Structure 1
Amino acid sequence: MLKHNFSAGPCILPQEVFKKAAAAVLNFNDLSILEISHRSKDFVSVMEKAQSLALEHLGLTGKGYKALFLGGGASMQFLMVAYNLLEKKAAYLNTGTWADKAIKEAKMFGEVIEVASSKADNYNHIPKGYVIPEDVDYFHFQTNNTIFGTQMQYTPDVSVPLICDMSSDIFSRQRDFEKYDLIYAGAQKNMGPAGTTLIVVKEDILGKVSRQIPSMLDYRTHISKDSMFNTPPVFPIYVSMLTLEWLKENGGIDAIEKLNNQKAALIYNEIDRNELFNGFVKEKEDRSAMNATFVLNDSAHTAAFDAMWKEAGINGLNGHRSVGGYRASMYNALTLESVQTLVDVMQQLEKNA
């Protein structure tokens, strides 16, 4: 049976990408993609195409930005952002577990102003009405919070450099990406397998801190070496390139955003209609189109519901331990049919109750 993969990450990937990646493991110009030199012309071409496609999808080609594919995950970027950009103080919005971790790392390098936080409410909403100081080195926030299922539906209007963790909704919806000075995203949420992280940075914000930055943690080092200062994660970058190609072939961000909105509307309409379920996110305007979090109103139905969705071929629906309940992660490659399968199960549970 084909599995409907709602896992929060590593993410579902397109079947076409699986086939091409599997073929390359066996033969990529007479060698396996797993054993080719990262200095070879074949892989240099892969890296250049991945970087080019990332900038193209974001509409940032020729606008002073560089795309990097590095190791260390998005968690490494919590450190690197502050190392490279925080001279005196920075402003952070705390909307989830990973934002909280980013704040912790930044505090090692300077003063951190937490402009607002939803931590006291277990991150069940996006804070509103906060003020971003104009004398900070940058403002950092996350567009989407995988664990709790909240999403920023707007881009903050700021007069300072805007830094954003887009790990779980990168390439899923249009934004005014030129307003951002640095974007980073772990590949495993919407772009490829775990092992690489995309960083898109405007070059003119770099080189302004007085501290000495270790070579491996300096964005300028990696820009000067085209993401190959050290051996890059070859296979995750290759699969990310394939996924970015697939996105382009299927209409780019504009087309995928329409599909993602359809999927989100389908699941949230059922959560709101079905009296057996309740959404975790407090305000509908803060709901994530990528990660729908919900709970059963009566735990007596848990065993039956769990058995039903597993029988339907659904995978990865259990919620994070911080929230409990269920989490339907609907990344780009997840089909509308998969979401319909989940909705059918929810409706069948209602009929059986």
Structure 2
Amino acid sequence: MTDSFTIRSIEAFCYRYPLATPVVTSFGKMLNRPAVFVRAVDEDGVEGWGEAWSNFPAPGAEHRARLVNEVLAPGLVGRKFDGPGQAFEALTKGTEVLALQCGEPGPFAQAISGIDLALWDLSARRQRLPLWRLLGGQSRKIKVYASGINPGGAAQTAEAALKRGHRALKLKVGFGAETDLANLATLRQIIGAGMLATDANQGWSVTQAMEMLPRLAEFDLRWLEEPIRADRPREEWRRLRAAAKMPIAAGENISSVEGFKEVLAEDVLGVVQPDIAKWGGLSVCAPLARDILKVGKTFCPHYLGGGLGLLASAHLLAGIGGDGWLEVDANDNPLRDLFCGPVLNVTEGMIELDQDPGLGVSPDLSSIERHRTI
């Protein structure tokens, strides 16, 4: 089979898993875990699976699923493409005015990303290659870290992650200096000399961030993620970089080629974190990841969602290489665990991807039918 394919169908499925313990960020709580899975089928009957970012606001998942099913899929069915990148381009250009008109470039980008991931999986299956190898990977082993560690119960979450094989942790901060610093001290003790990072989720002003920097310095952090809002002037980011003893990380809220070009051209971010399910899919983010490594920065795919997007992110990291880590949410989520394949099997802080074609999983959606909303 060649890389060309004709699309027979594209369909999104929306799910919600209620959380016993809400996930807390500096900007709000998540009471459930949504997932929008996308299935693409070509005229030869080959399937591919992807996922569209849909974490918040709460009704966002159903909206993105309907964008896929009612707006985007009809424009692709019956069309022949020479690869996922061509379909991505057709979708993006074909909906630019519509996204602008309704003020929703984000949801459109996320829905398109879900389709793009499904088409990359489909393409790799057609070529009988694991996705990581199609992307140029030499090794199927990658490092992972446990993220989503809330301010409440941080020690228990961290210890449970270590028992599951993790050797690297990321703590959510932005809940007051006393809480943040106490949690960091506890986690540093738990992880020993291992990798420890923090994520402020855009929670501080530049003044607050500057006040925290010297207090964070004692914890030997691998990075400080999004200390201030992603849309703050570059001068504020440069001020933080000049004062920081640890690398600064960001990227999940950059959603343009120009935006990434800007941060790759300057010495502010040491760690760059595009999210393939949120913007760009693999068609844009795979070349971007190579550019991140070329300029000497660390590529760490951002991810927080269901299992298919997590698995695709793992394949991207293995495909591109470098010494970055894959983000794996430490919180309970069967929509992740049932569909992320080998990402569930963490040994000494590493996972090993399969040699099967594509993502290497064929999801059994009947197992989560009770959580389906669309």
Scaled by the length of structure 1, what TM-score is found?
A: 0.32
Scaled by the length of structure 2, what TM-score is found?
A: 0.31
For the pair shown, the structure with the greater C-alpha radius of gyration is 1
More strand by share: 2
